[in-house]
Structure 1
Protein backbone atom coordinates (compact mmCIF):
# COMPACT_ATOMS: atom_id res chain seq x y z
CA UNK A 1 0.00 0.00 0.00
CA UNK A 2 1.25 3.49 -0.85
CA UNK A 3 2.20 5.83 1.93
CA UNK A 4 0.15 8.81 0.72
CA UNK A 5 -2.68 9.83 -1.58
CA UNK A 6 -2.95 13.25 -3.18
CA UNK A 7 -6.48 14.12 -4.25
CA UNK A 8 -6.58 16.92 -6.82
CA UNK A 9 -9.28 18.88 -8.57
CA UNK A 10 -8.84 21.62 -11.16
CA UNK A 11 -11.17 24.30 -12.46
CA UNK A 12 -10.53 25.76 -15.89
CA UNK A 13 -11.79 28.47 -18.20
CA UNK A 14 -14.83 27.40 -20.20
CA UNK A 15 -17.46 28.75 -22.60
CA UNK A 16 -20.96 27.84 -23.70
CA UNK A 17 -21.92 27.08 -26.41
CA UNK A 18 -18.84 24.86 -26.49
CA UNK A 19 -16.04 25.59 -28.91
CA UNK A 20 -13.76 22.80 -30.10
CA UNK A 21 -10.88 25.22 -30.57
CA UNK A 22 -11.21 26.58 -27.01
CA UNK A 23 -7.98 26.49 -25.01
CA UNK A 24 -8.86 25.64 -21.39
CA UNK A 25 -6.60 27.25 -18.81
CA UNK A 26 -6.45 26.23 -15.17
CA UNK A 27 -7.94 28.92 -12.92
CA UNK A 28 -8.06 27.09 -9.57
CA UNK A 29 -6.15 24.23 -7.98
CA UNK A 30 -7.45 22.32 -4.97
CA UNK A 31 -5.52 19.42 -3.48
CA UNK A 32 -5.54 17.33 -0.31
CA UNK A 33 -2.81 15.00 0.95
CA UNK A 34 -4.01 11.92 2.83
CA UNK A 35 -2.19 9.12 4.58
CA UNK A 36 -2.87 5.51 3.66
CA UNK A 37 -5.79 5.39 6.12
CA UNK A 38 -7.37 8.45 4.42
CA UNK A 39 -6.57 10.80 7.29
CA UNK A 40 -5.99 14.34 6.04
CA UNK A 41 -2.46 15.70 6.32
CA UNK A 42 -2.65 19.02 4.47
CA UNK A 43 -4.67 21.10 1.99
CA UNK A 44 -3.66 23.37 -0.88
CA UNK A 45 -5.82 25.92 -2.72
CA UNK A 46 -4.88 28.74 -5.05
CA UNK A 47 -6.43 30.63 -7.92
CA UNK A 48 -4.51 30.93 -11.20
CA UNK A 49 -4.52 33.84 -13.62
CA UNK A 50 -5.32 32.79 -17.22
CA UNK A 51 -3.34 34.47 -20.00
CA UNK A 52 -4.93 33.39 -23.31
CA UNK A 53 -8.52 34.22 -22.35
CA UNK A 54 -7.95 36.44 -19.35
CA UNK A 55 -11.58 37.52 -19.01
CA UNK A 56 -13.78 34.73 -17.66
CA UNK A 57 -16.94 34.01 -19.62
CA UNK A 58 -20.33 34.55 -17.99
CA UNK A 59 -20.84 30.78 -18.20
CA UNK A 60 -17.58 30.13 -16.32
CA UNK A 61 -18.39 32.74 -13.68
CA UNK A 62 -21.81 31.21 -13.08
CA UNK A 63 -20.62 27.59 -13.12
CA UNK A 64 -17.66 27.96 -10.77
CA UNK A 65 -18.62 31.05 -8.74
CA UNK A 66 -14.99 32.11 -9.18
CA UNK A 67 -14.88 35.87 -9.68
CA UNK A 68 -12.86 37.90 -12.16
CA UNK A 69 -11.14 39.55 -9.20
CA UNK A 70 -10.07 36.12 -7.89
CA UNK A 71 -8.07 35.37 -11.02
CA UNK A 72 -6.92 38.95 -11.68
CA UNK A 73 -5.21 38.99 -8.28
CA UNK A 74 -3.68 35.53 -8.76
CA UNK A 75 -0.28 34.54 -10.13
CA UNK A 76 0.08 32.72 -13.43
CA UNK A 77 0.37 28.95 -13.56
CA UNK A 78 4.18 28.50 -13.38
CA UNK A 79 4.40 30.35 -10.05
CA UNK A 80 1.36 28.64 -8.53
CA UNK A 81 2.55 25.25 -9.78
CA UNK A 82 5.97 25.77 -8.20
CA UNK A 83 4.34 26.60 -4.86
CA UNK A 84 2.22 23.47 -5.13
CA UNK A 85 5.34 21.35 -5.74
CA UNK A 86 6.98 22.93 -2.69
CA UNK A 87 3.87 22.14 -0.64
CA UNK A 88 3.88 18.53 -1.88
CA UNK A 89 7.55 18.02 -1.02
CA UNK A 90 7.20 19.70 2.38
CA UNK A 91 4.54 17.11 3.22
CA UNK A 92 6.71 14.15 2.28
CA UNK A 93 5.66 13.48 -1.32
CA UNK A 94 8.23 12.35 -3.87
CA UNK A 95 7.58 14.46 -6.97
CA UNK A 96 10.47 13.20 -9.09
CA UNK A 97 9.24 9.70 -9.91
CA UNK A 98 6.25 8.16 -11.66
CA UNK A 99 6.32 5.34 -9.09
CA UNK A 100 6.83 7.51 -6.02
CA UNK A 101 5.40 7.21 -2.53
CA UNK A 102 1.93 8.54 -3.34
CA UNK A 103 -1.01 7.93 -5.65
CA UNK A 104 -2.68 10.81 -7.43
CA UNK A 105 -6.49 10.60 -7.20
CA UNK A 106 -8.81 12.44 -9.60
CA UNK A 107 -12.48 12.57 -10.50
CA UNK A 108 -12.26 11.24 -14.05
CA UNK A 109 -9.56 11.64 -16.68
CA UNK A 110 -10.03 15.29 -17.65
CA UNK A 111 -7.72 16.88 -15.08
CA UNK A 112 -4.62 15.02 -16.24
CA UNK A 113 -5.28 14.39 -19.91
CA UNK A 114 -6.80 17.76 -20.74
CA UNK A 115 -6.14 20.47 -18.20
CA UNK A 116 -2.64 19.61 -16.93
CA UNK A 117 -1.51 18.54 -20.39
CA UNK A 118 -2.69 21.73 -22.09
CA UNK A 119 -1.42 23.98 -19.31
CA UNK A 120 2.05 22.44 -19.44
CA UNK A 121 2.18 22.88 -23.23
CA UNK A 122 1.00 26.47 -22.93
CA UNK A 123 3.63 27.30 -20.29
CA UNK A 124 6.36 25.19 -21.94
CA UNK A 125 6.65 22.98 -18.87
CA UNK A 126 7.36 19.27 -18.87
CA UNK A 127 4.35 17.14 -18.01
CA UNK A 128 4.96 15.89 -14.43
CA UNK A 129 6.06 12.29 -13.97
CA UNK A 130 3.90 11.94 -10.86
CA UNK A 131 0.74 12.61 -12.93
CA UNK A 132 1.44 10.06 -15.69
CA UNK A 133 -0.51 7.37 -13.87
CA UNK A 134 -3.38 8.12 -11.54
CA UNK A 135 -6.39 6.73 -9.72
CA UNK A 136 -9.74 7.57 -11.37
CA UNK A 137 -12.30 7.52 -8.56
CA UNK A 138 -15.18 7.10 -11.04
CA UNK A 139 -13.82 3.73 -12.20
CA UNK A 140 -13.24 2.55 -8.62
CA UNK A 141 -16.77 3.58 -7.68
CA UNK A 142 -18.30 1.66 -10.58
CA UNK A 143 -16.21 -1.42 -9.79
CA UNK A 144 -16.96 -1.57 -6.07
CA UNK A 145 -20.67 -0.72 -6.36
CA UNK A 146 -21.07 -2.64 -9.62
CA UNK A 147 -22.69 0.47 -11.02
CA UNK A 148 -23.57 0.94 -14.65
CA UNK A 149 -23.12 4.07 -16.71
CA UNK A 150 -25.89 6.67 -16.69
CA UNK A 151 -27.10 7.42 -20.23
CA UNK A 152 -23.74 6.31 -21.58
CA UNK A 153 -21.62 8.32 -19.15
CA UNK A 154 -19.92 7.65 -15.85
CA UNK A 155 -21.38 8.90 -12.58
CA UNK A 156 -20.82 12.48 -11.49
CA UNK A 157 -20.04 13.51 -7.93
CA UNK A 158 -23.66 14.11 -6.96
CA UNK A 159 -24.67 10.65 -8.18
CA UNK A 160 -21.75 8.93 -6.46
CA UNK A 161 -22.40 10.58 -3.11
CA UNK A 162 -26.11 9.80 -3.37
CA UNK A 163 -25.49 6.10 -4.02
CA UNK A 164 -22.98 5.96 -1.17
CA UNK A 165 -25.37 7.73 1.21
CA UNK A 166 -22.94 10.60 1.70
CA UNK A 167 -24.06 14.15 2.46
CA UNK A 168 -23.21 16.56 -0.33
CA UNK A 169 -21.73 19.83 0.90
CA UNK A 170 -19.55 22.65 -0.35
CA UNK A 171 -19.73 24.39 -3.73
CA UNK A 172 -19.63 22.16 -6.79
CA UNK A 173 -17.08 23.23 -9.41
CA UNK A 174 -14.80 24.77 -6.81
CA UNK A 175 -11.50 22.95 -6.70
CA UNK A 176 -10.94 22.39 -2.98
CA UNK A 177 -14.61 21.66 -2.26
CA UNK A 178 -14.64 19.09 -5.07
CA UNK A 179 -11.43 17.54 -3.75
CA UNK A 180 -13.10 17.20 -0.35
CA UNK A 181 -16.04 15.42 -1.98
CA UNK A 182 -13.62 13.00 -3.67
CA UNK A 183 -12.16 12.24 -0.25
CA UNK A 184 -15.68 11.54 1.06
CA UNK A 185 -16.26 9.18 -1.87
CA UNK A 186 -12.99 7.38 -1.11
CA UNK A 187 -14.09 6.93 2.50
CA UNK A 188 -17.52 5.74 1.31
CA UNK A 189 -15.87 3.14 -0.91
CA UNK A 190 -13.66 2.02 1.99
CA UNK A 191 -16.85 1.69 4.02
CA UNK A 192 -18.13 -0.80 1.43
CA UNK A 193 -14.75 -2.42 0.82
CA UNK A 194 -12.45 -2.02 3.86
CA UNK A 195 -8.82 -1.64 2.91
CA UNK A 196 -9.58 -0.87 -0.74
CA UNK A 197 -6.23 0.20 -2.24
CA UNK A 198 -7.27 2.82 -4.84
CA UNK A 199 -4.49 1.59 -7.11
CA UNK A 200 -3.73 3.57 -10.25
CA UNK A 201 -6.15 2.62 -13.01
CA UNK A 202 -5.59 5.31 -15.64
CA UNK A 203 -2.62 6.77 -17.50
CA UNK A 204 -1.76 10.07 -19.13
CA UNK A 205 -2.33 9.99 -22.87
CA UNK A 206 -0.16 12.49 -24.76
CA UNK A 207 -2.31 12.06 -27.86
CA UNK A 208 -5.43 13.21 -26.00
CA UNK A 209 -7.61 15.59 -27.98
CA UNK A 210 -10.21 17.98 -26.60
CA UNK A 211 -13.57 16.36 -26.01
CA UNK A 212 -16.40 17.84 -23.99
CA UNK A 213 -17.76 16.09 -20.89
CA UNK A 214 -16.08 12.80 -21.88
CA UNK A 215 -15.44 11.18 -18.52
Structure 2
Protein backbone atom coordinates (compact mmCIF):
# COMPACT_ATOMS: atom_id res chain seq x y z
CA UNK A 1 0.00 0.00 0.00
CA UNK A 2 1.22 3.50 -0.83
CA UNK A 3 2.59 5.60 2.01
CA UNK A 4 0.91 8.72 0.58
CA UNK A 5 -1.71 9.65 -1.99
CA UNK A 6 -1.62 12.81 -4.09
CA UNK A 7 -5.13 13.65 -5.28
CA UNK A 8 -5.05 16.16 -8.13
CA UNK A 9 -7.74 17.91 -10.13
CA UNK A 10 -7.10 20.36 -12.96
CA UNK A 11 -9.28 22.88 -14.73
CA UNK A 12 -8.41 24.04 -18.22
CA UNK A 13 -9.49 26.59 -20.80
CA UNK A 14 -12.41 25.43 -22.92
CA UNK A 15 -14.66 26.71 -25.66
CA UNK A 16 -18.05 25.88 -27.14
CA UNK A 17 -18.85 24.99 -29.88
CA UNK A 18 -15.83 22.65 -29.89
CA UNK A 19 -12.77 23.68 -31.89
CA UNK A 20 -10.57 20.75 -32.83
CA UNK A 21 -7.48 22.94 -33.02
CA UNK A 22 -8.11 24.23 -29.47
CA UNK A 23 -5.13 24.01 -27.10
CA UNK A 24 -6.42 23.47 -23.53
CA UNK A 25 -4.30 25.31 -20.95
CA UNK A 26 -4.38 24.57 -17.25
CA UNK A 27 -5.91 27.51 -15.36
CA UNK A 28 -6.40 25.99 -11.91
CA UNK A 29 -4.62 23.32 -9.88
CA UNK A 30 -6.17 21.70 -6.82
CA UNK A 31 -4.24 19.03 -4.92
CA UNK A 32 -4.50 17.19 -1.61
CA UNK A 33 -1.92 14.98 0.09
CA UNK A 34 -3.27 12.07 2.14
CA UNK A 35 -1.57 9.49 4.29
CA UNK A 36 -2.24 5.77 3.77
CA UNK A 37 -5.31 5.98 6.03
CA UNK A 38 -6.71 8.82 3.89
CA UNK A 39 -6.10 11.48 6.53
CA UNK A 40 -5.36 14.86 4.95
CA UNK A 41 -1.84 16.18 5.39
CA UNK A 42 -1.93 19.31 3.24
CA UNK A 43 -3.70 20.96 0.32
CA UNK A 44 -2.67 23.22 -2.57
CA UNK A 45 -4.67 25.52 -4.82
CA UNK A 46 -3.57 28.14 -7.32
CA UNK A 47 -4.89 29.74 -10.48
CA UNK A 48 -2.72 29.77 -13.61
CA UNK A 49 -2.47 32.46 -16.28
CA UNK A 50 -3.13 31.06 -19.80
CA UNK A 51 -0.84 32.22 -22.61
CA UNK A 52 -2.15 30.83 -25.90
CA UNK A 53 -5.74 31.95 -25.26
CA UNK A 54 -5.44 34.46 -22.42
CA UNK A 55 -9.08 35.58 -22.55
CA UNK A 56 -11.48 33.00 -21.13
CA UNK A 57 -14.47 32.15 -23.30
CA UNK A 58 -18.00 32.87 -22.02
CA UNK A 59 -18.56 29.09 -21.90
CA UNK A 60 -15.44 28.62 -19.74
CA UNK A 61 -16.40 31.45 -17.39
CA UNK A 62 -19.86 29.97 -16.88
CA UNK A 63 -18.79 26.34 -16.54
CA UNK A 64 -15.84 26.79 -14.19
CA UNK A 65 -16.94 29.88 -12.28
CA UNK A 66 -13.37 31.18 -12.61
CA UNK A 67 -13.15 34.88 -13.40
CA UNK A 68 -10.92 36.66 -15.88
CA UNK A 69 -9.32 38.50 -12.95
CA UNK A 70 -8.49 35.17 -11.26
CA UNK A 71 -6.27 34.10 -14.14
CA UNK A 72 -4.93 37.55 -15.07
CA UNK A 73 -3.62 38.00 -11.52
CA UNK A 74 -2.00 34.55 -11.52
CA UNK A 75 1.45 33.39 -12.62
CA UNK A 76 2.02 31.29 -15.72
CA UNK A 77 2.22 27.52 -15.45
CA UNK A 78 6.00 27.06 -14.96
CA UNK A 79 5.99 29.25 -11.83
CA UNK A 80 2.84 27.70 -10.34
CA UNK A 81 4.03 24.19 -11.18
CA UNK A 82 7.36 24.92 -9.52
CA UNK A 83 5.61 25.99 -6.33
CA UNK A 84 3.49 22.86 -6.41
CA UNK A 85 6.61 20.68 -6.68
CA UNK A 86 8.15 22.51 -3.73
CA UNK A 87 4.94 21.96 -1.76
CA UNK A 88 5.01 18.26 -2.59
CA UNK A 89 8.62 17.89 -1.49
CA UNK A 90 7.98 19.90 1.69
CA UNK A 91 5.32 17.33 2.54
CA UNK A 92 7.75 14.41 2.06
CA UNK A 93 6.68 13.26 -1.38
CA UNK A 94 9.57 11.85 -3.42
CA UNK A 95 9.38 12.90 -7.06
CA UNK A 96 11.93 10.43 -8.45
CA UNK A 97 11.38 6.93 -9.84
CA UNK A 98 11.47 5.83 -6.17
CA UNK A 99 8.36 7.85 -5.44
CA UNK A 100 6.53 7.03 -2.21
CA UNK A 101 3.06 8.11 -3.31
CA UNK A 102 0.33 7.28 -5.78
CA UNK A 103 -1.24 9.97 -7.93
CA UNK A 104 -5.05 9.78 -7.85
CA UNK A 105 -7.22 11.42 -10.52
CA UNK A 106 -10.86 11.45 -11.60
CA UNK A 107 -10.40 9.72 -14.94
CA UNK A 108 -7.65 9.77 -17.54
CA UNK A 109 -7.94 13.30 -18.97
CA UNK A 110 -5.86 15.19 -16.39
CA UNK A 111 -2.72 13.19 -17.15
CA UNK A 112 -3.21 12.27 -20.79
CA UNK A 113 -4.59 15.58 -21.98
CA UNK A 114 -4.12 18.52 -19.62
CA UNK A 115 -0.69 17.81 -18.11
CA UNK A 116 0.66 16.46 -21.40
CA UNK A 117 -0.51 19.44 -23.46
CA UNK A 118 0.51 22.01 -20.85
CA UNK A 119 4.03 20.59 -20.57
CA UNK A 120 4.32 20.76 -24.35
CA UNK A 121 3.12 24.37 -24.44
CA UNK A 122 5.40 25.38 -21.54
CA UNK A 123 8.46 23.51 -22.81
CA UNK A 124 8.60 21.26 -19.74
CA UNK A 125 9.35 17.58 -19.45
CA UNK A 126 6.35 15.44 -18.56
CA UNK A 127 6.68 14.51 -14.85
CA UNK A 128 7.77 10.93 -14.21
CA UNK A 129 5.47 10.73 -11.18
CA UNK A 130 2.39 11.25 -13.38
CA UNK A 131 3.14 8.55 -15.97
CA UNK A 132 1.33 5.94 -13.85
CA UNK A 133 -1.69 6.88 -11.78
CA UNK A 134 -4.77 5.69 -9.94
CA UNK A 135 -8.04 6.32 -11.82
CA UNK A 136 -10.79 6.61 -9.20
CA UNK A 137 -13.48 5.84 -11.80
CA UNK A 138 -11.97 2.40 -12.46
CA UNK A 139 -11.54 1.74 -8.75
CA UNK A 140 -15.19 2.66 -8.16
CA UNK A 141 -16.41 0.21 -10.79
CA UNK A 142 -14.16 -2.57 -9.52
CA UNK A 143 -14.86 -2.06 -5.81
CA UNK A 144 -18.64 -1.91 -6.30
CA UNK A 145 -18.75 -4.47 -9.13
CA UNK A 146 -20.76 -2.10 -11.30
CA UNK A 147 -20.74 -1.06 -14.95
CA UNK A 148 -22.82 1.24 -17.14
CA UNK A 149 -24.74 -0.43 -19.94
CA UNK A 150 -23.58 2.23 -22.42
CA UNK A 151 -19.91 1.71 -21.51
CA UNK A 152 -19.39 5.24 -20.25
CA UNK A 153 -17.57 5.95 -17.00
CA UNK A 154 -19.30 7.25 -13.88
CA UNK A 155 -19.34 10.98 -13.14
CA UNK A 156 -18.45 12.41 -9.75
CA UNK A 157 -22.10 13.08 -8.98
CA UNK A 158 -23.06 9.50 -9.89
CA UNK A 159 -20.29 8.04 -7.73
CA UNK A 160 -21.17 10.18 -4.72
CA UNK A 161 -24.88 9.40 -5.09
CA UNK A 162 -24.18 5.66 -5.22
CA UNK A 163 -21.97 5.90 -2.15
CA UNK A 164 -24.42 8.10 -0.27
CA UNK A 165 -21.98 11.00 -0.09
CA UNK A 166 -22.98 14.65 0.02
CA UNK A 167 -21.62 16.83 -2.77
CA UNK A 168 -20.02 19.95 -1.27
CA UNK A 169 -18.35 22.93 -2.90
CA UNK A 170 -18.44 24.10 -6.52
CA UNK A 171 -18.33 21.41 -9.20
CA UNK A 172 -15.63 22.06 -11.82
CA UNK A 173 -13.40 23.89 -9.37
CA UNK A 174 -10.08 22.13 -8.88
CA UNK A 175 -9.72 21.95 -5.10
CA UNK A 176 -13.42 21.27 -4.53
CA UNK A 177 -13.32 18.43 -7.07
CA UNK A 178 -10.18 17.01 -5.45
CA UNK A 179 -12.02 17.02 -2.11
CA UNK A 180 -14.89 15.10 -3.70
CA UNK A 181 -12.42 12.48 -4.97
CA UNK A 182 -11.13 12.12 -1.41
CA UNK A 183 -14.72 11.58 -0.22
CA UNK A 184 -15.19 8.92 -2.89
CA UNK A 185 -11.99 7.17 -1.76
CA UNK A 186 -13.26 7.16 1.83
CA UNK A 187 -16.68 5.92 0.66
CA UNK A 188 -15.04 3.01 -1.18
CA UNK A 189 -12.96 2.20 1.91
CA UNK A 190 -16.14 2.04 3.99
CA UNK A 191 -17.48 -0.64 1.64
CA UNK A 192 -14.16 -2.36 0.99
CA UNK A 193 -12.05 -2.12 4.13
CA UNK A 194 -8.39 -1.55 3.35
CA UNK A 195 -8.96 -0.96 -0.39
CA UNK A 196 -5.50 -0.11 -1.73
CA UNK A 197 -6.12 2.37 -4.62
CA UNK A 198 -3.11 0.98 -6.44
CA UNK A 199 -1.97 2.31 -9.81
CA UNK A 200 -4.41 1.13 -12.47
CA UNK A 201 -3.71 3.46 -15.41
CA UNK A 202 -0.75 4.49 -17.54
CA UNK A 203 0.03 7.47 -19.73
CA UNK A 204 -1.09 6.56 -23.25
CA UNK A 205 1.67 6.90 -25.84
CA UNK A 206 -0.71 7.38 -28.77
CA UNK A 207 -3.02 9.95 -27.16
CA UNK A 208 -4.41 12.77 -29.29
CA UNK A 209 -6.33 15.76 -27.97
CA UNK A 210 -9.85 14.63 -27.15
CA UNK A 211 -12.88 16.86 -26.79
CA UNK A 212 -15.97 16.15 -24.72
CA UNK A 213 -19.28 15.56 -26.51
Partner of residue 205, structure 2 = 206
Question: What is the aligned-residue RMSD (CA, Å)?
Answer: 1.0
Q: Normalising by structure 1, what TM-score?
A: 0.97
Unpaired stretches in structure 2, ≥5 consecutive residues: none
Alignment of 1:67 onto 2:67? yes
1:91 deviation in Å? Answer: 0.0
Number of equivalences:
213
Unpaired stretches in structure 1, ≥5 consecutive residues: none
Describe the SS at the equivalent of 1:105: strand
Q: Over residues 97-129 of structure 1, what are the superposed CA-to-partner deviations in whole Å (9 max), with x where a residue is unaligned?
A: 2x4100000000000000000000111100000
1:103-114 superposed matches below 5 A: 103-114=102-113
Partner of residue 58, structure 1 = 58
Q: Over residues 135-161 of structure 1, what are the superposed CA-to-partner deviations in whole Å (9 max), with x where a residue is unaligned?
A: 000000001111112633100000000
Describe the SS at the equivalent of 1:11: strand
Partner of residue 23, structure 2 = 23
Are the structure 2 counterparts of residues 41 and 194 from structure 1 closer, same or farther at C-alpha, using a change threshold of 3 Å? Answer: same
The list of structure 1 runs, each at least 4 consecutive aligned residues, that deviate by more than 3 angstroms after superposition, is none
Alignment of 1:141 onto 2:140? yes
1:94 deviation in Å? Answer: 0.3
Given that residues 117 and 206 in structure 1 are in contact (C-alpha distance below 8 angstroms), is that contact kept between their aligned partners in structure 2? no
Q: Normalising by structure 2, what TM-score?
A: 0.98
Are the structure 2 counterparts of residues 150 and 174 from structure 1 closer, same or farther at C-alpha, using a change threshold of 3 Å? Answer: farther
